[in-house]
Amino acid sequence: MPYFDLNLDLTWEDKEIKASAHKFAKEVMRPIAREVDRMSAEDAVAGNSPLWEFLRQAYALGYHKALFPPELGGLGFTPLQGHILNEEIIWGSLGLSGVLLLASWPFFKVLQSGNKELIEEFVAPFCKTSEPNITACWAITEPDRGSDSINVNEPFFSTRGARGNVQARLDGNEWVINGQKSAWVSCGPIATHGMLNVQIDPSMGLAGGGVCILPLTLPGISRGKALEKVGQRDLPQGELFFHEVRIPRKYMFVGPGNYSTWTANNLAFGNAAMTLFAIGLARAAFDEAFAYSKERVQGGMVLIDHYFTKVRIARMFGKVEAIRATSRAVWNLAVKVYPPLPEYSYASKAICTEMAREVVDEAVQLHGANGLTREYPIEKFWRDSRALTIEDGENNTLCSMAGNFLKETYPRTAG
């Protein structure tokens, strides 16, 4: 049965995008995600892992460059079309979609920087390729700086002498990078390129940072082992190590002058995207629970025929629709309005991911003990959902940052 959408203005093209993305999610992503989830973290990133088959097919469809402009070879999707595509593929697999989204994110940020030389060198080849021979990651967190690395509007962030784990110094026309990023860099084990946050000027504290784009094949770069973790096992993580790594000066496209603002803005974009993870996964869990409630017989009838099950299903349904409505609005704002309004992204990420976890948890509960077995997809969704409130900023940290923005600027109008 076609899915009813509260947005009554969807065009024929929007609906086509939804239908083809859903088919891809169901037929290609679900089986591959299940397989990768059951592999060791090291096998999951090996050259013969089915993860690459997913990427090959997604790149061939152009999904990696959906939001990039046609002039560069992108698909030129509207923000709404980008949302529709991502909701469907996240429904297919939160982890695999994460790999795809991260593959493009750093190149999107370089595009937004407007730096023509870097766009030519890094973004154009990414948009031209239809093979997963160019993929990226974003490395900001460090062994000693987790929430600290993003908490830009707290006084400690600008405290003179506060040191990060990755330092960059200028040597002639090159930056020289040393240090280590955390074990949590998504796609760290597989990415060909990285967007890297570094510290340049410790006299400004953590605020004295910079952001560069670089190939991860340069001499002096090494990687840790892929991390074994409880959920999102089809989104690999691992450390990045830098020893006297030299990059041209121009690769550092953000400097200490606007580092804090850039970081807050980048997080605003990332956390708008996190609301997409919330809707994709919540809807996947809702669909499983609803289907199960129509099959499982207890008390002489299928679960859905019991009054109390109807109440539970309707509550889950309401949460799914509320997450989508919020997510579409916040995503639209984040893609269209620059500089962004971070408080919307941060607070919405917290609320949407918490609601998504409630939906997934209730979906497990509706499965009874079956919800805990590998026979049913819901146990993977449950494991996948746990990180939602930690990744891209732990929710309390994000809310405290949103509170700071509200305190400073509210009420305000979009610029």
Ligand X SMILES: Cc1cc2nc3c(=O)[nH]c(=O)nc-3n(C[C@H](O)[C@H](O)[C@H](O)COP(=O)(O)OP(=O)(O)OC[C@H]3O[C@@H](n4cnc5c(N)ncnc54)[C@H](O)[C@@H]3O)c2cc1C
The pair of structure tokens assigned to 327 is 């997510």
* Near ligand X by CB under 6 A: residue from 54, 122, 184, 331: 184
Q: Is 139 an interacting residue with respect to ligand X (CB under 6 A)?
A: yes
CB of 237 to ligand X, least distance (A): 6
Binding to ligand X (CB under 6 A) within 353-372 occurs at none
Q: Is 397 an interacting residue with respect to ligand X (CB under 6 A)?
A: yes
Q: How many CB atoms lie within 10 A of CB 365?
A: 12
- Give the Cα separation of 135 and 125 in Å (integer): 11
Long-range contacts of 120-126 (CB under 8 A, 24+ apart): 122/193, 122/213, 123/68, 123/72, 124/72, 124/73, 126/64, 126/65, 126/68
Residue 29 or 185: which CB sits closer to ligand X? 185
* Near ligand X by CB under 6 A: residue from 97, 232, 309, 353: 232
Q: Is 396 an interacting residue with respect to ligand X (CB under 6 A)?
A: yes
* Near ligand X by CB under 6 A: residue from 85, 289, 387, 401: 387
Q: Is 391 an interacting residue with respect to ligand X (CB under 6 A)?
A: yes
* C-alpha to C-alpha distances, 411 to 84, 180, 406, 414, nearest whole angstrom: 30, 40, 8, 10
* Near ligand X by CB under 6 A: residue from 10, 383, 394, 399: 394
CB of 75 to ligand X, least distance (A): 24
* Near ligand X by CB under 6 A: residue from 132, 194, 340, 393: 393
Q: Is 141 an interacting residue with respect to ligand X (CB under 6 A)?
A: yes
Q: Is 129 an interacting residue with respect to ligand X (CB under 6 A)?
A: no
* Near ligand X by CB under 6 A: residue from 10, 119, 124, 390: 390
Q: Is 189 an interacting residue with respect to ligand X (CB under 6 A)?
A: no
The residue range among 25-33, 257-265, 347-355, 390-398 that interacts with ligand X, by the rule CB under 6 A, is: 390-398
Long-range contacts of 42-49 (CB under 8 A, 24+ apart): 42/225, 42/226, 44/226, 44/233, 44/234, 44/236, 45/189, 45/190, 45/226, 45/236
The pair of structure tokens assigned to 177 is 């990078």
Contacts of 129 (CB under 8 A, 6+ apart): 59
Q: How are the residues of the chain apportioned to helix, strand and coil, as percentages rounded to the nearest 5?
A: 55, 15, 30
Residues that bind ligand X (CB under 6 A): 138-141, 146-147, 182, 184-186, 232, 237, 387, 390-394, 396-397
